[in-house]
Amino acid sequence: MTNFRVPGKGRVDQRRPVTFSFDDKEFTAAKGDTVASALLANGVHLMGRSFKYHRPRGPVAAGSEEPNALIGTRRGKGQFEPNTRATVQEVYKGLAATSQNKFPNLKFDIGEINDKAYMLLSAGFYYKTFMWPRSFWDKVYEPFIRAAAGLGVSPTEEDPDHYASRYLHTDVLVVGAGPAGLAAARSAAEAGLRVTLVDENSEAGGTLLSEPQALIEGAPAWDWLAAELAALTDLGVKIMTRTTAIGYYHQNMVGLCEKLTDYVATPEANIPRERMWRVRAGQVILAQGALEKPLVFDGNDRPGVMLAGSAQTYLNRYGVRVGDRAVVVTSHDSAYHAAFDLVESGTAIRAIVDTRAMPPEDLVSQARIRSILVLTGHTVTGTSGRLRVKSVRVNPVRDGWVGEARELLCDCVLMSGGWTPSLHLFSHTKGSLKWDAEQQTFLPDRMTEACLIAGAGRGLWGIEAALTDGAEMGAVAARELGKPIEAKRLTVEQDRTGTGESNTELPSDLSQGKARAFVDYQNDVTAKDLRLAVREGMRSIEHVKRYTTNGMATDQGKMSNINGLNIASDALGKPQPQVGLTTFRPPYTPTSFGAFAGYHRGDHFEATRKTPIDIWAEENGAAFEPVSQWRRAWYFPRAGETMDAAVQRECKATRESVGMFDASTLGKIEVTGPDAVEFMNRMYTNPWTKLQPGRARYGLLLGDDGFIRDDGVIGRLSQDRFHVTTTTGGAARVLNMMEDYLQTEWPDLKVWLTSTTEQWATIALNGPNARKVIEPFVEGLDISAEAFPHMSVAECTVAGFPARLFRISFTGELGFEINVPARHGLELWETLYAAGRPYDLCTYGTETMHVLRAEKGYIIVGQDTDGTVTPFDAGIGWAVGKAKPDFVGMRALKRPDLVADGRKQLVGLLTEDSTTKLEEGAQIVLDPAQPVPMKMVGHVTSSYHSVAAGRPIAMALIAGGHGRMGETVHIPMPDGVIRATVTSPVFYDPEGARLAI
């Protein structure tokens, strides 16, 4: 195999060979190579197959704009990434890269048949070809298309890598570390600002890496670059390479994706693969440079056809000649310099084919000095070669007439259609563009952010222009931030500036119908497709884009958008600015999901809140369920016990003796101040004025729309202090709502709210023996039935810990809730557990809690209510104060809709067969014989097997339910209709005798 490496040339370390594989074949690279430069050095251009036509493709570019050379990389199990640009992926020892979109192999691919069938697959083929017969879509067309389509293969295994993220605040963020970016960073840093300079490449330098001939202030470009980077580091500039600015968001927030391990043979285990930086910058300077445009001609996608500037980069940066015999086709001066550099390194230039009739005289004469044939006023009308270009067909053009063709033999074609500023990030900000008629390109115009654009990004060509403009923009940014500084000027010799002309597809003497002149390589969109779209009625560029998919591939139209626009505007007969450019969207280059997720995966996906007692539950085999962000003990199964059996055992033990429950997740809010009682009167439906200190009451909270928001027991600790409890999930919401009313409606009230949810661990003991268990531990309080009746609260000591003790019940049994400072919660739990042994104390979880409360008809807000249920609907109108002048929700309860007949009301349901347990959520109908769709009158909200009732019980919301007691309703299920009787929702101890023990 020929070696195309040029000894002594490039920035790669040719003395340090690195081996890697491509499609299971081993190759040798130099340290610093990309996969593309290494394969090119080995004479390999064929790197992939295209998306739609499966045409053989090689790299057309040398950077992240590459549309063709997409590869898969694999490091280990789960570490496969498709669609990586071979032009960006750095080679490391052992890298395993594979080509894509080929079967059975890259050189012979069955999908190539698509290329022959291209007439069927032209623009809009989805909408036309597969429309008939209609029934074929699901069974024939779509499965076929799905199998054939797609770019690369998604990994199926879990990604074992980890990903990181950080926030960064900087005064000036400079995107792009080419000459403009370097100079901008220098100005801003010398002004004393915090400066961050990022570049997607493996090293800073940009154009300078490809143009070592330039002399900056008399120093060779690479020497100057090294010194400048050292100076910037000394000034405290944060320089980040392999870091892509993927998106520019509101108010100068820029997302950066930093690659940390994808270039390392054996990365340290704890280093994240990628890190997402969320940067907030005072000023952003975009110094992203410009991208070279391809020329659009038949066969411009054959392996070996590439951008002239990229060939120059492969030569100067990587020391790789892209071929032995090149034909240069261009409409821009810059390609001449690529040709000259290649000639010097031993590549023969068969010809420079210039579309312009009169290129600059000095370039033409420099070519002649090097004995290069220059064909001016020529067009390119085709290429030949199956897996690699073998020849190019060129014709003279005179007065619009295409003359006789001649064939130029070659092994590579270097093309240049001129340069277009990289406007992607600027486009993210919705900044406006203006058309530059002279340069035939869009330039940035009006800014919407504190953003500046420097260098080639705003149409300034050449290193000196970029340095000057960068320094100036850095100074402007510094001035905007209040640190004025003078911009420095640098002189550059052997700079390469130039001009060119812009084209649509090049003229041809062949049938345009057969031409395969590609505009969007990645989505296989040709010039013909674009013209077809216009012919078929697409007028807006947005429609042309979607109909043809031009610019919609993963490269975001980096190469195709301007050529596409030129052709569309020509077809439409309108100037480019009237046609307009489609929007570039983030991310700038494809970004892994891992980088976006960062640390938030697995256990760390979101916070899992656990109580101080959770660890005991875990050690004692509890099953858990999530309740809002909390993990709560669900039930405590014994060995071999089913959930149903465990819950029934827990229910029975609690009703017969005593059960213990971790209620620490209940929300707690301390309401304190001289106006505390007034505030409570206004917030909750209940009256609070007459509640004596030491007493507690069930509190019901509505929204101002009259619907139930939350509930909980509220104890009055003293005249000015209430201990409010909320539901587990409602804690934050209730506090927020209380603060809202307090701060904005009643700021005159002297009362303050403090969340104490996590101050206290809360242990509930329920059952006839509850008092016997805790009594020995209570100091400073008589908890006898007489001295401490149901609905009491007091501060005391329990097991030596300061405590707030409530006598309340959510089970219908004698109940206590002990609150102790959280750090003592576990110890108290263990103490009581041991003390409860003589009474067969049983720990229970949330499921048993739900069953026990349902037996009593106590509602769970959010389960038996759904945000449209009033206290009267729920059958707890007794909790609504009748004589209060106002409370949140009071007025709404009188709204016509809320007092109308037929509202859904909470009732009990008993299945007629006494054995069937209803499904929660099941719909209820009155007449099961009615035609489908049936009129649904409500649904089952809670349903359990009840040991106490000796049968299944349920609660339901049913239209007019309170007036239907004793009626039969029907619950249609897939396997039959269930009959149930409407009852009161209280299934156990309706007199409440058990509470009074």
Partner 1 sequence: MTQLPTHFESGQLSATSAARVTVVEPMARFSLRAGQGDVTAISEALDLALPTKIGQRTKAGATEAMCLGPDEWVIIAPDSEAVRLESACTAIYDQAPHSLTAISDREITVRIDGPRAADLLTLGCPRDLDAILPNEGRRTVFDGVTVVLWRDAEQEFRLDVWRSFAPHALSLLVTGCTELALE
Partner 2 sequence: MLLIKCPYCDETLPELEFAYAGEAHITRPPTPAEASDEEWRDFLFIRSNVKGAHYERWRHVHGCGRFFNAVRDTVSDRFLVTYPAGGLRPAVDDVTGSSK
Residues that bind partner 2 (CB under 8 A): 249-251, 253, 278, 280, 448, 704-705, 736, 739-740, 743-745, 747, 885-886, 890-892, 895-896
Q: Does residue 274 bind partner 1 (CB under 8 A)?
A: no
Question: For partner 1, which is the closer residue by CB, 552 or 749?
Answer: 749
Q: Does residue 611 bind partner 1 (CB under 8 A)?
A: yes
Select from partner 2, partner 1, none the partner in contact with residue 209, using the beta carbon and a kind-dependent cut-off of 5 to 8 Å.
none
CA distance 176 to 169: 18
> By C-alpha distance, which of 225, 180, 190 is closest to 469?
180
* Residue 751: CB minimum distance to partner 2, A: 15
CB 195 within 8 A of CB 170: yes
> By C-alpha distance, which of 413, 418, 205 is closest to 291?
418
Select from partner 1, partner 2, none the partner in contact with residue 604, using the beta carbon and a kind-dependent cut-off of 5 to 8 Å.
partner 1
* Residue 754: CB minimum distance to partner 2, A: 11
Q: Which of 213, 592, 756, 981 binds partner 1 (CB under 8 A)?
A: 756
Q: Does residue 266 bind partner 1 (CB under 8 A)?
A: no
Q: Which of 438, 606, 897, 901 binds partner 1 (CB under 8 A)?
A: 606
Select from partner 1, partner 2, none the partner in contact with residue 489, using the beta carbon and a kind-dependent cut-off of 5 to 8 Å.
none
CA distance 413 to 121: 27
CA distance 652 to 852: 10
> By C-alpha distance, which of 639, 640, 632 is closest to 850?
632
Map 56-96 to HEC letters.
Answer: EECCCCCCCCCCCCEEEEECCCCCEEEEEECCCCECCCCCE
Task: Kindly identify the residues of this chain, within the stretch 948-977, that bind partner 1 according to CB under 8 A.
Answer: none
Question: For partner 1, which is the closer residue by CB, 688 or 987?
Answer: 688
Q: Does residue 599 bind partner 1 (CB under 8 A)?
A: yes
CA distance 607 to 600: 9
Q: Does residue 859 bind partner 1 (CB under 8 A)?
A: no
The residue type of 236 is: G
What's the chain's length in residues?
997
Q: Does residue 670 bind partner 1 (CB under 8 A)?
A: yes
Which range touches partner 1 (CB under 8 A), out of 39-47, 58-66, 244-252, 605-613?
A: 605-613
Q: Which of 494, 754, 784, 984 binds partner 1 (CB under 8 A)?
A: 754
Which range touches partner 1 (CB under 8 A), out of 264-272, 399-407, 924-932, 954-962?
A: 264-272
Beta-carbon contacts of residue 295 (< 8 Å; ≥ 6 apart): 329, 330, 331, 355, 380, 415, 416, 417, 503, 506
Instruction: Sketch the per residue contact string, 418 through 457, with partner 1: x for CB under 8 A, - otherwise.
Output: ----------------------------------------
* Residue 34: CB minimum distance to partner 1, A: 24
Select from partner 1, partner 2, none the partner in contact with residue 977, using the beta carbon and a kind-dependent cut-off of 5 to 8 Å.
none
Question: For partner 2, which is the closer residue by CB, 405 or 898?
Answer: 898
Q: Does residue 169 bind partner 1 (CB under 8 A)?
A: yes
Question: For partner 1, which is the closer residue by CB, 77 or 166?
Answer: 166
* Residue 198: CB minimum distance to partner 2, A: 19
Question: For partner 1, which is the closer residue by CB, 113 or 271?
Answer: 271
Q: Which of 26, 404, 438, 603 binds partner 1 (CB under 8 A)?
A: 603
CB 918 within 8 A of CB 924: no
Q: 3-state DSSP call for residue 106?
A: coil
Residue 865 C-alpha from the chain's centroid: 34
CB 205 within 8 A of CB 178: yes
Which range touches partner 1 (CB under 8 A), out of 132-140, 149-157, 770-778, 822-830?
A: 822-830
CA distance 347 to 413: 12
Q: Does residue 268 bind partner 1 (CB under 8 A)?
A: yes
Select from partner 2, partner 1, none the partner in contact with residue 585, using the beta carbon and a kind-dependent cut-off of 5 to 8 Å.
none
Angle formed by the axes of helices 221-234 and 179-190, nearest 10°: 30
* Residue 864: CB minimum distance to partner 2, A: 23
Map 573-593 to HEC letters.
Answer: CCCHHHHCCCCCCCCCCCCCH
Select from partner 2, partner 1, none the partner in contact with residue 736, using the beta carbon and a kind-dependent cut-off of 5 to 8 Å.
partner 2
The sign of the dihedral angle between the CA atoms of 282, 283, 284, 285 is negative
CB 48 within 8 A of CB 38: no
Question: For partner 1, which is the closer residue by CB, 826 or 986?
Answer: 826
Question: For partner 1, which is the closer residue by CB, 137 or 752?
Answer: 752
* Residue 823: CB minimum distance to partner 1, A: 5
Select from partner 1, partner 2, none the partner in contact with residue 885, using the beta carbon and a kind-dependent cut-off of 5 to 8 Å.
partner 2
Select from partner 2, partner 1, none the partner in contact with residue 886, using the beta carbon and a kind-dependent cut-off of 5 to 8 Å.
partner 2
Q: Does residue 758 bind partner 1 (CB under 8 A)?
A: yes
Which range touches partner 1 (CB under 8 A), out of 384-392, 608-616, 838-846, 961-969?
A: 608-616
Question: For partner 2, which is the closer residue by CB, 689 or 736?
Answer: 736
Map 617-665 to HEC letters.
Answer: HHHCCCEEEEECCEEEEEECCCCCCCHHHHHHHHHHHHHHCCEEEECCC
CA distance 358 to 249: 45
Do strands 80-85 and 70-74 pair parallel, antiparallel, or not at all (unpaired)?
antiparallel
Sheet with strand 80-85: strands edge to edge? 25-31, 13-22, 96-99, 70-74, 80-85
* Residue 757: CB minimum distance to partner 1, A: 8
Terminal Cα distance for the chain, rounded: 96
* Residue 741: CB minimum distance to partner 2, A: 9
Q: Does residue 733 bind partner 1 (CB under 8 A)?
A: no
CA distance 962 to 979: 18
The two tokens of residue 418 are 């001129």
Q: Which of 11, 280, 543, 951 binds partner 1 (CB under 8 A)?
A: 280
CB 106 within 8 A of CB 23: yes
Q: Does residue 819 bind partner 1 (CB under 8 A)?
A: no
Q: Does residue 609 bind partner 1 (CB under 8 A)?
A: yes
Residue 13 C-alpha from the chain's centroid: 38
Question: For partner 2, which is the closer residue by CB, 279 or 663?
Answer: 279
* Residue 426: CB minimum distance to partner 2, A: 16
Long-range pairs for 122-126 at CB < 8 Å and ≥24 separation? Answer: 122/528, 122/529, 122/532, 123/525, 123/529, 123/530, 123/532, 123/533, 123/536, 123/547, 123/548, 124/532, 124/533, 124/536, 124/547, 124/548
* Residue 253: CB minimum distance to partner 1, A: 10
CB 414 within 8 A of CB 325: no
CB 39 within 8 A of CB 27: yes
CA distance 285 to 174: 5
Question: For partner 2, which is the closer residue by CB, 282 or 836?
Answer: 282
The one-character DSSP state at 400 is T
Question: How distant, in Å, are the alpha carbons of 25, 319, 490, 943 from that of 15?
Answer: 22, 13, 35, 76
Instruction: Sketch the per residue contact string, 184 through 203, with partner 1: x for CB under 8 A, - otherwise.
Output: ----------x---------
* Residue 712: CB minimum distance to partner 2, A: 22
Q: Which of 121, 148, 168, 552 binds partner 1 (CB under 8 A)?
A: 168
Select from partner 2, partner 1, none the partner in contact with residue 250, using the beta carbon and a kind-dependent cut-off of 5 to 8 Å.
partner 2
Question: For partner 2, which is the closer residue by CB, 736 or 784?
Answer: 736
In the complex, the residues that contact partner 1 under the rule CB under 8 A are: 162, 164-169, 194, 268, 270-272, 278, 280, 599, 602-604, 606-612, 614-615, 630, 670, 672-674, 720, 750-752, 754-760, 821-823, 826
